[in-house]
Chains A and B, each alone.
Chain A
Amino acid sequence: MDKLPRWADVALIPVVNLVLALIVSGIVVTLIGENPFDAMMIMVNGAVGSTYGWGYTLFYATNFVFTGLAVAVAFHARLFNIGGEGQAQLGSLGVALVCLYIPWPHWTLALPGAIVGGALFGAAWAAIPAYLQARRGSHIVITTIMFNFIASALLVYLLITSLKAPGMAPETARFPEATYLPTAQDFFAAIGIPFARTPLNVSFIVALIACWLVWLLMWRMRLGYEIRAFGHSEPAAIYAGISPFRITMVAMLISGALAGLMGINAVMGEQQRLLQDNVLGAGFVGIAVALMGRSHPVGVLLAAILFGALYQGGAELEFETSVPREMVVVIQALVILFTGALDGMVRGPLEKAFLRYRKQPKPGVAAE
């Protein structure tokens, strides 16, 4: 019998972890002289109290769905991809190149093109760490961290040399108008509902489809079965004829591609040009999102929306109080800490509590 019922494992523990993170955050807010409940209200209102709030919340959530799924898929293969940041940077580059150098007639054609570009570049940036892990045993955590730094150096270099648009700022030229993605405002206006002007765009739908595809992949397809089997036990995978090299490569390529897709939302959907840093830490938020979402697409989606709300609420908080938006980084850190690293702190006592509810110890089935 499992130590915990399933609902406790997938729902109760993440919620308790989240509450703990929020309590500690509240203490931090109190210490810097603000009322944590007021702060909370401002954040909630700012995030979901208006179509403007919702628009930004879901816009951020779209980024986090992509990076969260990226981390989650790698987690299933027991690979910790910290390189989402760099892969998203490169994905953004791919999206930008597709938008800048191919004369698209309409966004419906540009979007699939950008999806391919972003995914390819993101996957390519994950390919080298994946190969080194699979063939040379180089620890993927360290190599992906290194690749984040290399990616940002590369992007800076490109943006001050070959891709630089005329002017002072290190950025590309604006994309042609035909590549602009329809926003939620456009969409709701078409059916006669007023919606505030926000960067929320059709990429959100792409993110939802990505969630469904990842679910299909992981739980309904042989490849997902093999990825999960490999993640649980490499010797078992070899025993079953599953090639560790192939799974490591494929899982990381999918992971990198998902991270790279963030570019369609951030670059194509919002900035419409490539900046020095388009990712703004979303690659790392993906870690928190995947941990909270227990690496399941539904969990990732919910956690991404939560973090989207935190980011949007945090911006409002900075606007209305003296709390800087770094508060969100603190909350994010605490969520990672409590759900990822201090999980045992909650799990241990909970398991004991559930055990007490069950029947008394029985002799027999002894463990040695």
Chain B
Amino acid sequence: MADGPAPAIELRGISKAFGAVQANKDISIRVMPGTIHGIIGENGAGKSTLMSILYGFYRADAGEILIAGRKTDIPDSQAAIRAGIGMVFQHFKLVENFTVLENIVLGAEEGVLLNTSLGKARKLLRQLSDEYELHVDPDALIEDLGVGMQQRVEILKALYRQADILILDEPTGVLTPAEADHLFRILRGLKDQGKTVVLITHKLREIMEITDTVSVMRRGQMTATVRTAETSPEKLAELMVGRKVLLQVDKAPPRPGEVVLKVENLRIHDEQGVERLRGVSFDVRAGEVLGIAGVAGNGQSELLEVLGGMRPAQGGTVQLTGEALDLTGSRSDARTRRARGIAHVPEDRQREGLIMDFHAWENVGFGYHDDPAYNRGVLMDNDALRRDAEAKIARFDVRPADCWQKARNFSGGNQQKIVVAREIERDPVLLLVGQPTRGVDIGAIEFIHQQIVALRDAGRAVLLVSVELDEILSLSDRIAVMFDGRIMGERLPDTTDERELGLLMAGITDTDRPVATAEVEANLARSGGKAR
């Protein structure tokens, strides 16, 4: 690399601390123009912070940034845009009730009046769409578009501002495998046009598939930068975690028993009257894990919420060990569900599973605070709660082992351990688990997976919802795939693969024939699956 062109991006000794937390420490990388560079690391490794510094969202405490060989100061996003950097954030930065066109010109308008800049933008947009296969209706409202489309608007926004460098933060989290393929095609197209792409992800597969070079981050530091062709997933995983990692979960063959949960023809509308579940039927037996795969927003969340007593259903029946559950009336709440033996590890532990400003000991009783063991007459028995919390913290190796810490002061993995301890130690008949390892470090992932498998081995039924196909494949004894509020089919983990599941996730049941991505996209656009 000695005498080639100047790197598109060069970072020298970037450091950034938030309070006592060192998010980035002395990070240096070089990204050559016209390449796709991956940045991989666990949650909390500091990837997003680093890219936010590059986009002027944060200021680095130390270090310098060179763009195309020139030292560049990036105090704000305006400066980043001027330097030719475009960013597609994990959570899209779009104004929902504006049109595509309005979103694209926002901040890059020409002149004081709107009409002239919208007219010009419309023309330019058409050119860009043709050039990069990024077709969107300029007059559609963002809130009416699916996530895949919204992502395209984000990319178009960057291109409209003539970005040479495009940074994408976890862009595939909300996409089906087929949509992700299409995104990668677009990215390759951009690369062929000489653009530089930086892809931030925690998925090894994506790194191997599309990047030219890859940097690995661990605990705020850059541990290695290598050519993708010269490395392997195992090696990258080891660099990410700092030790050898088992990418597979060890588990004995299932011994399914009686049907514990029987769901028939379940229907749900959301507040706008849109049907989110359109007649879902399945059952889960004792001693097995049923995994529900699907792109986020296809009804899985609503399914968990109904079963967990967080929302009413509009039709269908649910039976738990042969007895019907109340789905609409006064006994359809979460409290009654818990009393029936349904435990629930919710999808979003910070919004739902924990009260972030409560101490750990208060959280250990959350949802079970009616339990006589935690009460003495009309008053709560806080001592009993604290004793129980200390025991659970010890058994689940929660760190720091201090029940007086507030939930928000624990890392993602330890927060999740508190939730899992609370729910699993109730020895439930049925465990509902949503995204058990989202934002959890690898060590805790292994531990939580083991706990789920142990519960299943103890003869309990487990319903697992996850958008991570790897997790579904390694934990489930059976897999059901959801698309647009329906179950598209059931498969066994040993006899299926990611391609087949991916097609089911896009609503294509006839998985043997060759399928064009256009069809996948058309289906997804129709389903209107949106990230929540």
Contacts and interface: CB of A to CB of B under 8 A. Distances in A.
B47 A355 contact: no
B334 A236 contact: no
Contacts of A239: 308, 310, 334, 344, 346, 352-353, 367
A362 B219 CA distance: 10
A191 interface: no
A241 B43 CA distance: 30
A363 B220 contact: yes
B49 A363 contact: no
A1 interface: yes
A243 B21 contact: no
B378 interface: yes
Interface string A331-363: 000000000000000000001000100110111
Interface string B106-125: 00000000000000000000
B366 A221 contact: no
A238 interface: yes
Contact of B20 (A1, A228, A235): A1
A365 interface: yes
B352 A233 contact: yes
B375 interface: yes
Given A222-B375, A366-B46, A361 B369 contact: no
A364 B355 contact: no
B357 interface: yes
B48 interface: yes
Nearest to B400: A1
B338 interface: yes
B351 A236 contact: yes
Contacts of A236: 351-355, 366
B336 interface: yes
B358 interface: yes
Nearest to B24: A366
A229 B367 CA distance: 10
A228 to B, nearest CB: 8
A226 interface: yes
Contacts of A242: 335
Contacts of A2: 406, 409
B219 to A, nearest CB: 5
Contact of B219 (A238, A240, A243, A363): A363
Interface residues of A, number: 33
Nearest to A360: B20
Contact of A225 (B338, B352, B380): B380
A106 interface: no
A233 B334 contact: no
Interface in B322-361: 333-338, 344, 346, 348, 351-358
Interface in A291-315: none
B44 interface: yes
Interface in A231-256: 232-233, 235-236, 238-243
Interface in B249-298: none
Contact of A220 (B19, B44, B346, B379): B379
A242 B352 CA distance: 12
B16 to A, nearest CB: 10
B221 interface: yes
A229 B380 CA distance: 15
A362 B334 CA distance: 41
B220 A364 contact: yes
Which 6 residue pairs of A and B lie closest in terms of their CB atoms, listed nearest first? A241-B335, A241-B334, A240-B367, A239-B352, A361-B17, A361-B22
16 contacts: A2-B406, A2-B409, A225-B369, A226-B369, A233-B352, A236-B353, A236-B354, A238-B334, A241-B334, A241-B335, A241-B338, A361-B17, A361-B19, A364-B219, A366-B23, A368-B49
Interface of B: 17-23, 25, 43-49, 219-221, 308-311, 333-338, 344, 346, 348, 351-358, 362, 366-367, 369-370, 375, 378-380, 382, 405-406, 409, 411
Given A239-B308, A355-B20, 11 more contacts: A220-B379, A221-B380, A229-B355, A232-B358, A233-B351, A239-B310, A239-B346, A240-B366, A362-B22, A363-B221, A366-B21
